Amino acid sequence: MSATEQKEKTWEVTFELHGEETTVLMRPDDTILQAAELAGLRAPYDCRRGNCLTCAGRFKAASSYNLVTTLRQEAGGAVTLDSDTFLCDEAKDEGFFLSCCSYPVGPGLRVELGVQKEAWQIQYCDRLRDEATRAAALEAVAQVQRGYSERNPDKFVADLERQFEGEGGVDGAA
């Protein structure tokens, strides 16, 4: 690949981390997280496969949206591409993305890293506040508990008895 072709395949990206801005040229094969690390930034991460939200980033107001999210999984020589990550649509709508599996596809990206708390707030708190969602979450928990008790009836009874004993017996729990 010629130097010109190579240049056409790099994008200038500006990162903000802990209030400091850094601008780098990044290759389309690197994730935002990898590019930040190559630039010497200590951006937070954990799973590096779209599950934990630790690497969450957010588009800044002046940013383009030239970013594509793709999980590349290699197994037995085959590469699978999957755009489904754990990040909820509500967080995406607020401009969040997962930097461990997001690649630049054009110029003008300006992104903030280290915003996992804000992404968590949306994903695990804000969107579960309305009545219908809470009811659905409780029903899901009840189904899991029901399934567990059906598969492990002896343990379920033993756990229940232990709970009652801890609360002063059946009469005390009523």
Instruction: Please report how close the Cβ of residue 42 comes to ligand FES at its closest, in angstroms.
Output: 14
CA atoms within 13 A on the CB side of 129: 7
| Segment interacting with ligand FES, rule: CB under 6 A, options 40-48, 105-113, 143-151, 160-168 | 40-48
For residue 27, state whether it binds ligand FES (rule: CB under 6 A). no
Q: Which is nearer to ligand FES, 46 or 82 (CB)?
A: 46
CA dist 52 and 148 (Å) reads: 25
User: Considering the rule CB under 6 A, would residue 64 count as an interface residue with ligand FES?
Assistant: no
Q: How far is the CB of 81 from ligand FES (least distance, A)?
A: 16
Alpha carbons 155 and 161: distance in angstroms, whole number: 10
Q: What residues contact 104, with CB distance under 8 A and at least 6 apart? A: 11, 13, 26, 28, 32, 35, 66, 67
CA separation, residue 135 to residues 59, 91, 132 (Å): 32, 21, 5
CA of 76: how far to CAs of 16, 29, 47, 54, 155, in Å? Answer: 37, 21, 21, 28, 40
Site mask for ligand FES (CB under 6 A), range 100-139, x = bound: x---------------------------------------
- Nearest distance in Å: CB 96, ligand FES: 11
Nearest residue to ligand FES, scored by beta-carbon proximity: 100
Candidates 24, 39, 47, 88; binder of ligand FES (CB under 6 A) is: 47
Binding site for ligand FES (CB under 6 A): 45-48, 50-55, 98, 100
